[in-house]
């Protein structure tokens, strides 16, 4: 460990230190505000200590971890999304009578696990990061435990996460049997060498690992857990699962099988998965009346969209995937943030009827939600429009015509349920006052910040894409 390596690992050290400090604080004196402060300080120091690895610089910190520009971008995304989750959760947990401080400890640990996944260069580090992330989510999904649906969602996630971990471990074992080592960076090169006598072991191992990745990304046919988990989880954690959890797997996939290095057989499999996800995600969302389930099926479709750029390869692929993921983070955090602020201590505002006439009761929240669903639909002047534009541009550049056509057609189908939400918001106000608001000033300010970023990216996307390309 030389000074450069120590400098590179400091974001992980800061997150770990914040978790330890918060654990001690909980044991000594419980204070909700202090727990939030420590968590935010951990994310802030992690951001402040991110190494400058622009221009293609790479730092190897032990054989387990590798830090490059891509890792820096994803670590920043995870820390910012973690901070937004904490800020949105503060008002949501204020009305909770039980112990609240452990919630922020678990969020810190989940971000730490996601960050380890993004910098993993060895299967041991990969599995360690995945388990840190998954175990934290096991406890976060039913937190606070108020209904049986939350516990059901947590059990479903636990079982399916265990299954995906089993696939991952078996794939690692098969890969090790063929390669004799467990370095992630060599996977694509070994799979591309058809004359390797151990190619069958390597291909089988990679296939099992891709199944595990499919479970975590919730793409078809590994998507069945998604709507139930999103519906049962508290809104800020549903947002966290939709953003940080999936973003960590995308970062891992970019390192495991970089765009452009996929063997022909894997390209066909990923293409089928992408098309099926875009079609199934949008069609299944059409008949839903639970906004959490709509966003869950929407996330399945969006992972399919993201795979279009990934499969295209070429110079635009990684930048397009990362840019789209950044817009996806902002949009989903904002959409679930509105759900969070409208939810009360006894019931989440998840039924579409809860949003009937919201504009006439709470115009600010209705306006934010409209912008978020417009961004998910990919309409102009929101972050979703340039995000989808770069996906289509990457797909066209890579001549992935079937995928581009599927993206265009299914995006048009998705307009129906996104616009249905918007129309519901502006319908005539009902006699009832709607769901109680658990909003706090901090939550409203966080939503304002997310909305500002959403519009900024939609109007001036060049600044963000230029920043991303500086590191990639």
pLDDT at 430: 56
Dump the DSSP string for 300-313: HHHHHHHHHHHHH-
Q: What is the helix (H) or strand (E) element at residue 353, kind and residue range?
A: none
CA–CA dist 384, 157 (Å, integer): 28
Q: What share of the chain is helix, strand, coil (3-state, %, to 5)?
A: 75, 0, 20
Q: What are the residue boundaries of the structural domains of the chain, listed by start?
A: 259-472
pLDDT at 62: 86
Could you tell me which residue, 147 or 365, shows the higher pLDDT?
365
183, β-bridge pairs: 122
Q: Residue 437 — very low, low, confident or very high, per pLDDT cuts 50/70/90?
A: very low
pLDDT at 199: 86
Are 417 and 291 in contact by the 8 Å Cβ rule? The answer is no
pLDDT tens by residue, 218-251: 999 999 899 999 999 999 999 999 999 999 999 9
pLDDT at 150: 83
Q: Residue 146 — very low, low, confident or very high, per pLDDT cuts 50/70/90?
A: low
CA–CA dist 205, 197 (Å, integer): 14
**Shortest CA distance to 10 belongs to which of 55, 71, 70?**
71
* Structure tokens, 352: 């579409």
Mean pLDDT, the chain, whole residue set: 90
Q: In 180-198, which ranges are continuous DSSP H helix?
A: 187-191
Phi/psi of residue 220, each to 5°?
Answer: -65, 135
pLDDT tens by residue, 381-433: 999 999 999 999 999 998 899 999 999 999 999 999 999 999 999 987 655 55
pLDDT tens by residue, 270-319: 999 999 999 999 999 998 999 999 999 999 999 999 999 999 887 788 99
pLDDT at 438: 45
pLDDT at 436: 46
CA–CA dist 245, 449 (Å, integer): 22
pLDDT tens by residue, 92-138: 888 777 788 899 999 999 999 999 999 999 999 999 999 999 999 99
């Amino acid at each position: 460990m030389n000074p450069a390596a120590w400098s590179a690992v400091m974001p992980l050290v800061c997150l770990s230190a914040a978790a330890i400090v918060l654990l001690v604080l909980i044991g000594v004196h419980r204070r909700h505000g202090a727990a939030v402060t420590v968590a935010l300080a951990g994310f802030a120091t992690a951001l402040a200590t991110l190494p400058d690895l622009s221009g293609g610089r790479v730092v190897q910190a032990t054989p387990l971890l590798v830090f490059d520009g891509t890792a820096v971008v994803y670590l920043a995304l995870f820390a910012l999304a973690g901070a937004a989750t904490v800020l949105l959760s503060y008002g949501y947990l204020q009305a909770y009578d039980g112990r609240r401080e452990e919630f922020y400890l678990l969020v810190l640990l989940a971000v730490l696990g996601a960050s380890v996944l993004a910098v993993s260069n060895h299967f041991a580090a990969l599995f360690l990061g995945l388990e840190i992330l998954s175990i934290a989510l096991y406890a976060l999904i039913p937190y606070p435990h108020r209904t049986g649906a939350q516990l059901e969602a947590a059990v479903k996630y636990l079982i399916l996460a265990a299954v995906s971990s089993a696939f991952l471990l078996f794939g690692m074992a098969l890969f090790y049997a063929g390669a004799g080592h467990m370095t992630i960076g060599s996977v694509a090169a070994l799979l591309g060498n058809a004359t390797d006598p151990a190619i069958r072991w390597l291909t089988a191992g990679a296939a099992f690992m891709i199944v595990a990745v499919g479970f975590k990304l919730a793409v078809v046919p590994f998507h069945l857990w998604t709507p139930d988990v999103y519906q049962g989880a508290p809104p800020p954690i549903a947002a966290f699962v939709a953003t940080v959890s999936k973003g960590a797997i995308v970062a891992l996939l970019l390192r495991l099988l970089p765009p452009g290095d996929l063997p022909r057989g894997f390209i066909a499999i990923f293409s089928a998965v992408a098309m099926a996800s875009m079609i199934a995600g949008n069609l299944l969302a059409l008949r839903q009346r639970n906004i959490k389930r709509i966003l869950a099926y929407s996330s399945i479709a969006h992972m399919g969209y993201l795979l279009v750029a990934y499969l295209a390869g070429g110079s635009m692929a990684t930048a397009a995937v990362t840019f789209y993921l950044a817009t996806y983070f902002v949009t989903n955090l904002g959409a679930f943030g509105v759900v969070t602020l409208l939810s009360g201590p006894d019931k989440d505002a998840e039924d579409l009827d809860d949003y009937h006439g919201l504009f006439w009761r709470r115009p600010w929240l209705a306006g934010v939600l409209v912008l978020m669903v417009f961004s998910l639909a990919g309409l102009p002047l929101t972050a979703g429009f340039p995000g989808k534009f770069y996906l289509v541009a990457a797909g066209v550049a890579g001549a992935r015509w079937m995928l581009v056509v599927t993206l265009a057609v299914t995006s048009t189908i998705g307009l129906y349920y996104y616009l249905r939400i918007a129309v519901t918001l502006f319908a005539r106000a009902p006699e009832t006052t709607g769901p109680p608001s658990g909003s706090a000033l901090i939550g409203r300010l966080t939503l304002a910040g997310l909305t500002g970023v959403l519009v900024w990216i939609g109007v001036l996307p060049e600044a963000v894409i230029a920043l991303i390309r500086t590191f990639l």
